[in-house]
Structure 1
Amino acid sequence: MRALNKLTSAQVKSAGPGKYGDGGGLWLHKREDGGAQWFLRMTVHGRRREMGLGNLSAVSLKEAREAAERWRAVARSGKDPIKERQRLGREAERMDNTLRTVAEDAFEARKAELKGDGKAGRWFSPLELHVLPKLGKVPVEELDQQDIKNTLAPIWHEKADTARKAMNRLSIVFRHAAALGLDVDLQAIDKAKALLGKSRHKATNIPSLPWQVVPAFYQSLTEPTVTQLALRLLILTGVRSKPLRFMRLENVEGDIWTIPGEEMKGRLGQTADFRVPLSTEALAVIEMAKPHEREGYLFPSVRKGVISDATMARFMERKGMEERPHGFRSSLRTWLAEATDAPHEVAETVLGHVAGSAVERAYRRTDFLEQRRVLMERWVQVCLGRTGEVLAMVSS
């Protein structure tokens, strides 16, 4: 048998450019540019094979010898070491149980439950931004509460809502891993929460105008621009910004605007469309907005798509206001509570909220459309200042 272990560590370190044999087919190739690689020469099935074993900077002489013996044993068993390594690599990919791989698989499995199949990436972003950069390459079975705690500690108090979402997503990923048959600690999430303690972050509500002041602001919107018309319709209908900004004329029939179910938020997985009664003032605003229509959208942006929520918010900022567009929902809800006798479930339905228990909803087969229609006409009178209330002015 050919002599083995011919090289020494000193020779490996000091040798100049060239090829140096260690015996048994193991060679070190030092290049002119200073790089160096290990490779193994073998004869398999009558064919000469040459197999790379890594760079000298990453693989020591000892490690190269161990690898060479391992692959020589494969060759002695009648298998091609290069093909066997490729096969093992493919198996490793199939058995990739890193947190990133399992998280992506969990995301794919849940897409059908998410709005727009989760294409916007908002479901995955808390993991992508705050967890996977640190833990993505770690096998999910090796993760424990300390790993999770250390990863989320930097945002636990400063970005509490994001941290909460990241924890929620991790819990789903761990349950998905368990369903795949992986040995994960399903209690790791709760343990991590215990280690992190209660968040010191205090949630703040989106600033909103008192309902008594809304009329002054509404009446200040006198220009027929996309932004001002969008704000007017937002105030009149009480809907969220997104369905309003993506409003399409094809979804308006008579005095009813039907918002597709996937555009509704917070409806506990329900996909039913939501009908919005349009008051006489709302219909008038829509008529004024029609000349702006582009590609079916009533409120297009200057360049492409539809206006953003930030567009309306910046308009309010320029008027010296701290309040934001979403706050008009709070203004409307407070008016419903303080100035009307609307039942709770009707008032909640005005805002598109799900009211009542699951059993109550199962037996209640109405969306209170007619009751809401009356309320929204009354709200118009408030916005137009026809109720006799003394209203404070909004700075312009």
Structure 2
Amino acid sequence: MTRALNKLSAAFVKFAPLGKHSDGGGLWLHRRTDGGGQWVLRVTVHGRRREMGLGSATNTPLKQVRIEAEKWRAVARDGKDPIKERERQRRLAERSMHILSDVARDCFETRKAELKGEGKAGRWFSPLELHVLPKLGKVPVAEIDQIDVRNTLLPIWHSKAATARKAMERLSVCLQHGAALGLHVDLQAPAKARALLGAQRHKVTHIPFLPWQEVPAFYASLDQDTVTNLALRLLILTIGTRSGPLRFLREEQIHDDVWIVPADEMKGKRNSGSDFRVPLSRQAMAVINKARSHERDGYLFPSVRKGVISDATMSRLMERRGMEARPHGFRSSFRTWCSEAAEAPWEIAEECLAHSTGGKVERSYKRTDFLEQRRKLMQRWADFVVPA
């Protein structure tokens, strides 16, 4: 015999007296002595009676609670315990909340302090954003395995080898972050995926550089005192820096004839916490003095609109001249000159390029950056590039 349903009215629920009131079909309203009320559904599963709370009578309207009650009655009719089923669905929903895209972004926010410029350039996150998240972003981290990782990175594993490796490394860091959050994560998934992908066939292409014998002529061709020309001239003369620190050079970083580059702007120096001192030759100081006339917002190499010149500005200048060489290649020009022409001590030449030398233990005992020795070598380089 079917029990009567929908016995109560909304008006009755609002002013219901103390006690238990049946709406039919096992749905009850319990009015408490404190004035509050609770909806409870009674069902029988495998001969066992279960009571399931369906929320506050104040916050859950009668119409809504009837729909919810029928949903769980149907679960009970299928022979399932509605309380256990609700808990299972809750755990599933909670796990689904921790999808890779959310974990990755939370990981990125946590690591920003370690990254150059707090990761504003996006270089740490971009391999994930471009090559991983479009495919795995909505997948819960608990479900990501080596097959998922392999299938995601396979299209670029050989064609974009460096990017693929970075994406793999970043993904591994994100999974470690997920594990630290208490999520069940397969931390070995990236390593196992790497084994499935195999060795990369990508051939490393070195940045083209100008032979050191041709550097003076190229430098002389930068005869106009434009922002780009001045930046490129200073890059050649202060070879230890890369384009990033140079483009963001500020007046307060110049101390007499030494340029102090903050550690977080120097590749390879960020983890050491040591600033990099660049000895400035007479020629380099002359370039800086000319660049001061272009200064805006503290930057010596501002762009036409706002901020500083872009990373590609100097490269485009060389490209427009039909040159294969690129600005970063002048580091190779200098290093070859040190070996072939200057016969400079290996350690001094490497320090000029801000390269780490020696093992970890040896570096921990080294207490000098060879500033005076580098000053002499950099002046010799400047005299070669800009002969009197």
Considering the TM-score relative to the shorter chain, is it more than 0.5? Answer: yes
1:165 Cα deviation from its structure 2 partner: 0.5
How far did 1:281 drift?
A: 0.5
Residue in 2 aligned with 1:245? Answer: 247
Distance in 1 separating the partners of 2:208 and 2:66: 63
Work out which of the residue numbers 26, 50, 55 in structure 1 matches 2:63.
Answer: 50
Alignment of 1:370-385 (within 5 A): 370-385=372-387
Residue 262 of structure 2 is matched in structure 1 by: 260
Question: Following TM superposition, by how much is the alpha carbon of 1:164 offset from its aligned partner in structure 2, in angstroms?
Answer: 0.3
Equivalent residues of 1:208, 1:328 under 8 A apart: yes
d(CA) in 2 for partners of 1:183, 1:94: 9
Q: For each residue in 1:44-63, what CA deviation from the matched residue of structure 2 results, as whole angstroms up to 9, or x when unmatched? A: 74874333999xxxxxxxx9
3-state SS of 1:258 partner:
strand
Change (3 A) 1:65 1:133: farther
Structure 1, unmatched stretches of 5+, are 5-22, 26-41, 55-62, 78-83, 387-396
Work out whether residues 99 and 137 of structure 1, in 8 Å CA contact, stay in contact via their aligned partners in 2: yes
SS of alignment partner, residue 309 of structure 1: coil
**Cα gap change, 1:171/1:196 in structure 2, threshold over 3 Å: closer, same or farther?**
same
Tell me the CA shift for residue 260 of structure 1.
1.1
Deviation (angstroms), 1:179:
2.9
Counterpart residue number, 1:193:
194
CA 44–269 in structure 1, closer or farther in 2 if over 3 Å, else same = closer
> Which residue does the alignment assign to 2:104?
103
Deviation at 1:381, TM superposition (A): 1.7
Structure 2 CA distance for aligned equivalents of residues 125 and 216 of structure 1: 38
Q: Unpaired segments of 5 or more residues in structure 2?
A: 7-23, 27-53
Deviation at 1:337, TM superposition (A): 1.9
1:67–1:360 CA distance, 2 compared to 1 (3 A): same
- Equivalent pairs: percent with the same residue? 62
Alpha-carbon distance change, 53 to 281 in structure 1, aligned in 2, over 3 angstroms? farther
Task: Describe the superposition over 1:128-186 as per-residue Cα deviations: whole angstroms up to 9, x where unpaired.
Answer: 21111211221212111111001111111111111100100111122223333333222
Question: Which residue does the alignment assign to 2:320?
Answer: 318
The aligned counterpart of 1:336 is: 338
Give, in whole Å, the separation in 2 of the partners of 1:245 and 1:69.
Answer: 67
Match of 2:283 among 281, 284, 302: 281
The Cα offsets for residues 85-124 of structure 1, whole Å up to 9 and x where unpaired, read as 9xx9899569833222222232233222222222332212
Q: By how many angstroms is 1:187 displaced? A: 1.9
Say if 1:215 and 1:382, in contact at 8 Å, map to a contact too.
Answer: yes
Partners of 1:94 and 1:43 in 2: how far apart? 23
The answer for the alignment partner of 2:370 in structure 1 is 368
1:70 Cα deviation after fit:
5.8
Indicate the SS of the match to 1:121.
coil
Structure 2 distance, partners of 1:325, 1:200, is 27
Asked whether 1:150 is paired with 2:158, we answer no
SS in 2 for 1:276: strand
Q: Counterparts of 1:379 and 1:52 in 2: how far apart (Å)?
A: 82
Cα distance between partner residues in 2 of 1:121 and 1:318: 28
Contact 2:96 2:140 in 1 (8 A): no
User: Which of 291, 294, 302 does residue 293 from structure 2 map onto?
Assistant: 291
- Indicate conservation of the 8 Å contact 2:247/2:308, yes or no: yes
Task: Tell me the TM-score normalized by structure 1.
Answer: 0.76
The answer as to 2:226 corresponding to 1:225 is yes
Aligned to 1:113: 114
Q: How many Å separate the matches in 1 of 2:161 and 2:65?
A: 49
SS, match of residue 355 in structure 1 = coil
Q: Which residue of the partner structure matches residue 60 of structure 1? A: none
- Residues 196-215 of structure 1 correspond to what in structure 2 (within 5 A)? 196-215=197-216
CA-atom RMSD in angstroms: 3.2
Instruction: Output the amino acid matched with 2:351.
Output: T
Once the two structures are TM-superposed, the CA of residue 291 in structure 1 deviates from its matched residue by 0.9
Residue type of the partner of 2:338? Answer: L
Contact 1:53 1:67 in 2 (8 A): no
Partner residue, 1:140:
141
Q: Residues 172 and 102 (structure 1 numbering): CA distance in 2 closer, same or farther, change over 3 Å? A: same
In 2, Cα distance between equivalents of 1:174 and 1:162: 18
- Measured at CA, do residues 50 and 338 of structure 1 come closer, stay the same or move farther in structure 2, by a change above 3 Å? farther
TM-score (norm 2): 0.77
- Number of residues paired by the alignment? 332
